[in-house]
Amino acid sequence: MEKLSEAEKDTLHIKRMQRLSARWAEMSPEERTDYISKMKSGSEPLRYTMIDAWNHSINLIKDLSSHLKENQIYKPADLLYSTQEFSEFQSKIMIEFWEKHPEYAKQLGINIQRSQEKIQDGISRGTFEELKKEIMRDKNQRIKEMTKFKQNNSAQQIQDTETSEYITEFKNTYYKVLGAQLKNLPQEYINDYFKVISEGFSKDHIEAWTRNMKGEPLTDEDQQLLKQISETEPAGGDKINRAIEGALADTLYECTRDPRVFVLSHSDLKVALTQIDRGEQIIKIGSKKLNDVFEFNIVKRRIDRNRIAFLYNQYKQEVSDENLESIASEYFITKNGDYSRLIDYMKTYGKSINIIFSDKSTYNSLIKAAMFTRFALNMPKEDALNSQCLLMIDGSKPFEKEEELQQMKFLLTKRFYFVPKIFMDKYTSEFGAAVRRSKSLDFNEISKGCYKRTDAKSTARLFILPKHKFQTINSLRTLAMEEALADVLYEATGNTDVYMLQFEELCDNIELFRMVKKYPSESRTFNSYNGNKIRLTALKMPNVSKLQRAYIEYLNEIVDWVNTDVKKGNGTFEDLLYILNPDENMPDKDEAVSQRIKLYGLKLK
């Protein structure tokens, strides 16, 4: 250790803490407290891992805050999010909490491991700085929630005392009558479920529900209240129900291998798992919400409760607005061009939305199609898909085409291997949207433009995306990447005409010239998609080593311009042109860049 540099010591410490997290489940409350203490006071990757883990433990930090205040620690946010190790007194209070709440300790351990993976992924992709900003935004939001929780806590305690009697009776009756359905459900879901019920329905509703479960005589008013319950999804109920639907459907699929399970509602899925537990030979579900009867053969009877809990916690996590906007524009067309209501609805799905709409989803097309059916059924009637927005995928089996499209995206990424992933992910999203919009195009023809050249002598096709149809943020990203790529190609060729080329053309030329074995290369003459005839000769191999840095610099300048000028209505075409070409002594470059910007149809003065 004495011979190691400080950076090497930090790296070693990070690796030790990551390995140690695998032992979390076997740790004592004292060991867990000590682990958290070292994480929060460690190097940046460790500190941000701990902050992110707290950010995704909302119920935990609320109850932990109450516990800390009861023990004269009046600023729990300062304690949890600080970079200082716990004092002896603070450690003692934390240890007491983990002893009383082992379920929360388990949840935090899962969140720490999940956050470690996120941080490591960010570091390996070069997006750690962006990730840090996202984590700090989440932290500030959680602190606001904790402050609000503190302000409402006194009033809530009085209310809890008044309501505890009928709520307790409801819980006890529910466990007695429907306890078999709770056996396989995560404790966090059960806690969330009772919280949603107690906050979402009146005392009269809950007491009528309790009498119904007990089999007591019901009045006409009781019947009306029960009808209201059956037709209402209380505030917060949509999020936990979508999360548990995804988790239970995944488990039931493992038991049946039947994709139709992803069509079922959370109540249907709970009944199905109960039937497996009872030893039924076949699952029979009379679904009231679907007005249909389902039968499933059981091929495997093992129910993995730990996986259900893991998926529930994962699916409860929020998806960023930017990712939801990307999904909406890539997969849907709205009649009025406004995606806001669709995005608000998709938020209720948390990360389970990725089962349907993610390139990284491991679920097959039949599962995606089945879950999309559930997605459409859960949507509020006033926002129904057939009246407000349309799925861009055609045909009776739409998601089969998706598998072909994912392969095309993969091939395109392999072809333009030198383009940084932080941009390529956004581009392939626009590629997917463009292919879906072009319903008359042949997938086979489009895919020919995705294959990498075999050598410098071989030809290659291109599929040029219409830039004016990009999301605005992706238009700006693409302009920044095009400029960075054009700089690379200009350095290799000395020809300013490269600045009029679009992203695909720039990549095509860089791909080709990087395969040349002898420089200067032979001249290449081609007609650009702008209608210009261009002749290029590579004087040396295009150097892409600084491509990501140049892209980020251009993009940061553009984003700063948008925030300071465009949002105030002062953004001009000349401003953007100056960002992309600050050299006033290159009029040819100005003209070339200007031609390219106009392809985007940006509304600038």
Q: Considering the entire predicted model, what is its pTM?
A: 0.61
**Selected residue with higher pLDDT from 172 and 336:** 172
Verify that 324 and 307 share a domain, yes or no. Answer: no
Instruction: Report how far residue 242's alpha carbon sits from residue 260's, in angstroms, rounded to the nearest whole number.
Output: 16
Is 134 found in the same domain as 277?
Answer: no
**What DSSP string describes 140-207?**
HHHHHHHHHHHHHHHHHHHHHHHHHHHHHHHHHHHHHHHHHHHTTS-HHHHHHHHHHHHHHS-HHHHH
Instruction: Give the pLDDT score at 159.
Output: 46
Residue 434 located in a structural domain: no
Q: What is the DSSP string of 207-270?
A: HHHHHHHHT----HHHHHHHHHHHT---TTHHHHHHHHHHHHHHHHHHHH--GGGGGS-HHHHH
- Same domain for 16 and 146, yes or no, is yes
User: Is 172 a domain residue?
Assistant: no
What pLDDT, in 10s, does the model give residues 400-439? Answer: 777 788 888 999 999 999 999 999 999 998 998 888 777 6
CA distance 136 to 70: 27
**How far is 415 from 313, CA to CA, in rounded Å?**
37
The Cα 322–Cα 474 span in angstroms is 11
User: What integer pLDDT is reported at residue 140 of this predicted model?
Assistant: 86
What is the CB-side half-sphere exposure of residue 393 using CA atoms within 13 A?
21
- Closest by CA to 472, choosing from 299, 588, 339, is 339
Query: Does residue 448 belong to any structural domain of this protein?
Result: no
pLDDT exceeds cutoff 90 at 477 = yes
Q: Is 535 contained in some domain?
A: yes
140 and 243 assigned to the same domain: no
Q: Phi and psi for 361 in degrees, rounded to 5?
A: -65, 130
Q: How many other C-beta atoms can be found within 10 angstroms of the C-beta atom of residue 96?
A: 14
Residue type (1 letter), 66: S
Verify that 324 and 306 share a domain, yes or no.
no
Is the same domain home to 19 and 147?
Answer: yes
Report how far residue 473's alpha carbon sits from residue 357's, in angstroms, rounded to the nearest whole number. 20
Angle, helices 587-598 vs 472-493, to 10°: value is 150
* Close Cβ partners of 40 (under 8 Å, ≥ 6 residues apart): 46, 47, 50, 51, 80, 81, 82, 83, 84, 85
Q: Are 64 and 16 in a shared domain? A: yes
Q: Are residues 462 and 567 in the same domain?
A: yes
Q: How many domains does the chain contain in total? A: 4
With CA atoms as reference, report the closest residue to 605 among 571, 558, 565.
571
Q: Is the confidence at residue 296, as pLDDT, over 50?
A: yes
Instruction: Give the domain-ending residue among 140, 158, 176.
Output: 158
Which range (138-152, 210-224, 350-364) has the least confidence?
138-152
Tell me which of 26-40, 79-93, 345-359 is least confident.
Answer: 79-93
pLDDT above 70 (res 388)? no
Nearest-CA neighbor of 136 among 62, 64, 55?
A: 55
User: Which DSSP category does 529 fall into?
Assistant: T
Residues 18 and 103 in one domain: yes
Instruction: State whether 493 and 545 are in the same domain.
Output: yes
Is residue 447 situated within a structural domain? no
Residue 487 lies in a domain: yes
Residues 329 and 257 grouped into a single domain: no
User: Which of the listed residues 391, 411, 446 is the one where a domain comes to its end?
Assistant: 391
Q: Is residue 374 part of a domain?
A: no
Residue 416: inside a domain: no
Confidence band for 339, pLDDT divided at 50, 70 and 90 = confident
Q: For the segment 562-590, what is each residue's pLDDT rounded down to a tens digit?
A: 988 888 888 888 999 999 988 878 889 99
- CB distance 268 to 287 below 8 Å: yes
Same domain? For 216 and 146 the reply is no
Residue 47, domain extent: 6-158
Give SS3 for 459: coil
Q: What is the mean pLDDT of residues 36-58?
A: 88
Domain end call among 391, 412, 428: 391
The yes-or-no verdict on residue 196 having pLDDT over 80 is: yes
* Gyration radius of the chain's alpha carbons: 28
Please choose, from the candidates 568, 469, 473, 455, the residue with its C-alpha nearest in 3D space to the C-alpha of residue 521: 455
Over residues 139-143, mean pLDDT: 83
CA angle 423, 328, 416 (to 5 degrees): 25
